[in-house]
Amino acid sequence: MRVMKFISLAVILVVISTFAVAQAAPAQTAPTVKHVPITNAPSNSGKEMFNSYCAVCHGKDGKGNGPAASAMKTPPTDLTLLAKNNGGKYPSSHVAAVIKGQATTPSHGSQDMPVWGPLFSSISQGHEGQVQQRITNLVTYIEGLQAK
């Protein structure tokens, strides 16, 4: 009789534990950025490079709302406001310097955001002309995103 009571009590505890675990909310984990190897988007298309390299954080519209934005330590810059935030003049040389890794912004160059200059050099096999073409075409494309 004691054994039956013990077994019944054990079964009841297991059932209650199962229900308690099932009712517990799933643990919330912070979003993370998955780092993947760089792909070789065409160097002659600023739009294709932007969509391949920049849109994941800055969004296809450049407003800083890309799918990885929520995982960033610092929200991505709204690239459509660069001219507005610079007295109405698009800061092309600064944008180029940021892409090359020669100027800093809160997220570029950190573990979250790559510095594109060296990455462009690696996929261009060190051909500086192609690296410069990539940067120039990206800078020009971003200039076209500026809010009017």
Q: Is residue 34 part of a domain?
A: no
Q: Is residue 38 part of a domain?
A: no
Helices (H), 1-147: 2-23, 46-49, 55-58, 92-100, 116-123, 128-144
Contact 80, 64 (CB under 8 A): no
Taking residues 26-43, report their average pLDDT.
Answer: 69
Contact 57, 74 (CB under 8 A): no
Q: Is residue 20 part of a domain?
A: no
Q: Which amino acid is at 75?
A: P
In the chain, the percentage of residues whose pLDDT exceeds 90 is 41
Structural domain containing residue 131: 46-144
Q: Is residue 24 part of a domain?
A: no
Q: Is residue 132 part of a domain?
A: yes
d(Cα 132, Cα 124) in Å, to the nearest integer? 10
Q: Is residue 87 part of a domain?
A: yes
> Does the pLDDT value for residue 24 go beyond 60?
no
Spatial CA neighbour of 78 closest among 93, 62, 54 = 62
Q: Is residue 126 part of a domain?
A: yes
Confidence (pTM): 0.72
Q: Is residue 1 part of a domain?
A: no
Q: How far is CA 7 from CA 4, 16, 21, 50, in A?
A: 5, 14, 21, 65
pLDDT tens sequence across 130-147: 999 999 999 999 999 999
pLDDT tens sequence across 73-105: 888 899 999 999 999 999 999 999 988 888 766
Q: How far is CA 130 from CA 40, 78, 98, 112, in A?
A: 12, 27, 17, 25
Task: Quote the number of domains for the chain.
Answer: 1
